[in-house]
A and B are shown apart, each in its own frame.
Chain A
Amino acid sequence: MELGRKIADYIDARLGIRDILEQNLTKYLLPRNINVWYTLGAVLLTLFALQIGTGILLLVYYNPTVDEAFHSVQRIMNEVPFGWLIRTVHAVGANIIILALLLHMLSVLFMGSYKAPREFNWLAGFFLFLLSLGMCLTGYLLPWSQLSFWATTVATSSSQEIPLVGDLAIRFLRGGAMVGQPTLGRFFALHVIGFPLLFGLLVLAHLFCVRRVGISRPPFGPDWHPAEPPARFHHEEHRGGIPFFPHYVAKDAAIIAFFLALLLGVVFFAPGLFFPPTAFEPADPFVTPKGIKPEWYFLWAYQTLKIFPSEFLGLAVQGVAVTLLLLLPFLDRSPERRPAKRPFFVVAFLLGIALFIALSVWGHYS
């Protein structure tokens, strides 16, 4: 015990680890009125870590070739000790992450936390969201099931609608005329190396922005007033606030536990929720399964493409909507963040959620 303390003291005298921990845990103060929505960042970090962990374990047995991919996943599910658990947690975890990301983004929008001086936080977060969707899409192909093959065929075929570069785009995505080994190879590389590397950097950038600018104070309560963003850099401090550790960490831990319980609830009691029967059939380019539908978080996009007379128009509308959302902090420049004082935004916000749900339900039943 004494030896351990001496080693810790030795290291601390040289690196100042205790000081870093103190500055970022017990001396890191958060607004007193911080609410439960702020825990979603910690929830997401935990879920991402779980994805990385399960993903590495899956890599031990997964074989990214069209002849072996499906069988290797079957081996993982049936022969590898706890393989079924690792694989199901990875697949269901991706869906729970999208749910948590959507909630995180919606809370940031509702509380106006994307506004100046936090534009970069928003941009990094938004790119993390897009990258997460990209990882879901690339991961979808890897089991090389009927669902994987046809969902990817349909998803990549829309690229042909892009004017001038349509054919080039589809060949670039697939690595050939059809979904095949080159597609699996490039999706695998993106899923396990390309996107995660980029993702890690963006997470660091996002956390850096959050920590550097300071966490935003929830725009509620009588003493909250809008303030013009400072002309020079200013770290927002919360004197008299609650310490991050142990106060807020306890709340983070509670919500993380609830999300993990939700994840395990689906894994153990409703795994079929995210696995249609076609997910357990090997890919067959000559048999098109009936009613191939994208995952729930892509249903709105799927239905949008069906509403418009041409796929290109549908894609353009989606592109405009996503770009507007990305650039929102630069378009909505008012310092007011209280929802009660932003009726136009709140109505648009609620209509946006209603539209997302309506298009998704329509897409599911269409």
Chain B
Amino acid sequence: MKQLLMLAAWPLFLHLTSIPSPAQTTETVCIQCHGALPGKLGEPVKLWKGSVHAANGISCHNCHGGDPTDMAMAMNPSRGFLGAPKDRAIPEFCGRCHVGVKEDYLASAHGRALGRGGPQCVTCHGNHAVFKATPDLINRRDCTRCHDYGRAEEIRSSVIETDRRITELEQSLLALHRTGIVTREMEGELFSLRNRFHRLFHNVDVEKVRNQTTGFQAELGKIRGQVIAIENKLKQRKLWGGVVMALLLLGGVLALLLHKSYKEEI
């Protein structure tokens, strides 16, 4: 009986020490259903997959509401389903999360022209394939769809350097994060700074953008200082690690020479 039990347990032990099968993705019912549909009904899923929302885990139900776990009730208004907003309602729709941006936008020349041919969020950022907000969104091709590029170009040129520094710092923090350094607090500060900075674009006021950019650069400098301090600490660790490695290699070579001398003695 014992032998039988051991035989039965053997595949389980082998299994425990071998395995990993291909990963399976858990998807919401929205993606399961619409992802399989052709044409207009399936298109949003394909577009969303390459969006900044998808990259940050924001799924269909986070904007459109509904129940992502229940196929039958997914699009039922009783479960909070909102559907697609009309053009005029888009700033309110997006502004549920992007509160500050909505405020600045509504107070801007763009916002004031809402419903009268003025642009709303998706005009620049796209809808399902939502682009990450960068100064590249301010460009001649898109801005000249409605007006002259002059003022837009001025805004772009005054923010582009700060935005580059933000992106650079994001990458430095990511690199530190990937070595196990806790960067949550700095990431939070940078995230907040980036949002406040990008919110600034939306008021489309050239003077205001220029004035406030200096303040943002000073804040960036503080975070950069912390990052440099950590990077220096990591460099120091590498230096010491290199010294210990060199000593071990030297010790190994000496031990081999010692072994050789013993062999010659015999």
Contact = CB atoms under 8 A, between A and B. Distances in A.
Interface of A: 32, 74, 77-78, 84, 87-88, 130-131, 133-134, 137, 150-151, 154-155, 157-159, 162, 165, 169, 173, 242, 246-248, 250-251, 253-258, 260-261, 264-265, 267-269, 271-272, 275, 277, 280, 286-288, 291-294, 298, 301-302, 305-306, 311, 314-315, 318-319, 322-323
A254 B255 contact: yes
A311 B249 CA distance: 45
A257 B248 contact: yes
Interface string B236-266: 0110111011001101110110110011001
Given A251-B256, A257-B255, A306-B22, A74 B263 contact: no
B178 A272 contact: yes
A294 B20 contact: yes
Contact of A133 (B12, B17, B22, B241): B17
Contacts of B180: 74, 77-78, 84, 87-88, 271, 275, 280
Given A87-B180, A269-B238, A286-B26, 17 more contacts: A154-B22, A157-B24, A158-B15, A159-B12, A165-B8, A169-B12, A254-B251, A254-B256, A257-B251, A264-B245, A302-B21, A311-B21, A318-B14, A319-B11, A319-B15, A322-B14, A322-B18
B11 A253 contact: no
A219 B182 CA distance: 54
Contacts of B14: 130, 315, 318-319, 322-323
Contacts of B24: 154, 157, 288
Interface in B177-232: 177-182
Given A158-B15, A287-B57, A302 B22 contact: yes
Contacts of A74: 180, 182
The residue among A254, A271, A293 with the most chain B CB atoms within 10 A of its own CB is: A254
Contacts of A155: 19-21
B78 interface: no
A242 B21 contact: no
Contacts of B8: 165
B222 to A, nearest CB: 20
A268 B252 contact: no
A254 B25 CA distance: 48
Nearest to A84: B180
A364 B252 CA distance: 34
A228 B206 CA distance: 93
B18 A318 contact: yes
Classify the secondary structure of B's interface with A.
Answer: helix
Given A242-B262, A319-B11, A154 B21 contact: yes
Interface in B11-69: 11-26, 57
B245 A268 contact: yes
Nearest to B16: A134
A77 B233 CA distance: 14
Contacts of B13: 130, 134
A301 B253 CA distance: 38
A242 B266 CA distance: 8
Nearest to A311: B21
Contacts of A158: 15, 19-21
B262 A250 contact: yes
Contact of B17 (A84, A130, A305): A130
B248 A258 contact: yes
A298 B20 contact: yes
B123 to A, nearest CB: 31
A271 B245 contact: no
Contacts of B19: 137, 154-155, 158, 294, 298, 301-302, 305, 315
Nearest to A159: B15
A219 B249 CA distance: 30
A200 B182 CA distance: 36
Contacts of A272: 178-179
Given A254-B252, A264-B248, A247 B259 contact: yes
A186 B13 CA distance: 15
Contact of B23 (A137, A154, A165, A314): A154
Contacts of B255: 250-251, 253-254, 257
B248 A261 contact: yes
16 contacts: A130-B13, A155-B20, A159-B15, A169-B12, A247-B259, A250-B259, A257-B255, A258-B248, A261-B252, A264-B241, A271-B179, A272-B179, A301-B20, A302-B20, A302-B22, A306-B21
A312 B245 CA distance: 45
The residue among B10, B17, B26, B241 with the most chain A CB atoms within 10 A of its own CB is: B17
Contacts of B253: 254
A36 to B, nearest CB: 10
A32 B264 CA distance: 12
A247 B263 contact: yes
